[in-house]
Amino acid sequence: MDRHLWQHLDARRHLLIALNIIAVIAGGLALDIRFGWPGQHAATLWTIAVWTWLYRMGRPEERRVLILCTAIAGCGEVVLSLGWGIYDYQFHNVPLFVPPGHALLMTLGLIVSQKLAELKAGRGFQAIFPWISAIYAGFAWWAGFDRFGTLLFAVFAVCMIFGRSKMLYATMFLLALLMELYGTALGNWVWIAVTPGLNISAWNPPFSAGAFYSLLDLLVLAALAAWPAASAQAAVVTPAADLAPEDSR
């Protein structure tokens, strides 16, 4: 299903979307760290503006992806940051630009993964990249410097084995790693050196932090597939419920 998302737009529009998403992620994080609270508010407004622009361009399926990704990512941020506490933002909150930012990054991943799937080099990336990551995951566990990253890689491996959108998961894993390296280098957030509850080491960021994004993509696509079925069931159930009082009379 993900191969059809955003395919109603031409290559020029794809490039424009990609450039806007890269700009808002890079620029928004820079604003957040450089200007504090005013910068965070500006980053939020910028992110929402790009999100709304994408929503207006999208068909019903793309709009559902944006909504689902934002909602699921928001819940995940609350659990992972505020609840579990495995990473912490500079103001000890979940910035409002983060959940829609996840939806933007997924949109970028969808477009990039579709382009890669058309290339021989892209298919090679899908085949080889997970194995390189697996070797590094084993080394990180053996050396003891990022054992949480190794556990996260197991999540990514499950997505790659059982998920249908393998190119998307691999692409998001890499894009998320680049964003994590950028955000932690600026100081927008920091990963806790010893993962709470597990008492194992974690780098800042864990090399496989992108596994969370792969899992997010899997959940979003699964929810997207279930959305039409749920809508159809509601359409059948609602008229029956409406008739019940009439029948009782």
Residue 62 has pLDDT above 90, yes or no: yes
- Cα dihedral sign, 47-152-118-132: positive
Residue 243 has pLDDT above 50, yes or no: no
Residue 249 has pLDDT above 60, yes or no: no
Beta-carbon count within 10 A of 110 CB = 27
Closest CA to 150 of 158, 161, 141, 142: 141
Instruction: Kindly tell me the burial class for residue 147, based on how many C-beta atoms sit within 10 Å of its own C-beta (0-12, 13-18, 19 or more).
Output: buried
The percentage of residues in the chain with a pLDDT greater than 90, rounded to a whole number, is: 83
**1: pLDDT confidence band, cut at 50, 70 and 90?**
low
Gyration radius from the chain CA atoms: 20
Residue 73 has pLDDT above 50, yes or no: yes
Q: Answer yes or no: are the C-beta atoms of 216 and 73 closer than 8 Å.
A: yes
**224: pLDDT confidence band, cut at 50, 70 and 90?**
confident
**58: pLDDT confidence band, cut at 50, 70 and 90?**
very high
**164: pLDDT confidence band, cut at 50, 70 and 90?**
confident
Residue 128 has pLDDT above 90, yes or no: yes
The three-state secondary structure class of 3 is: helix
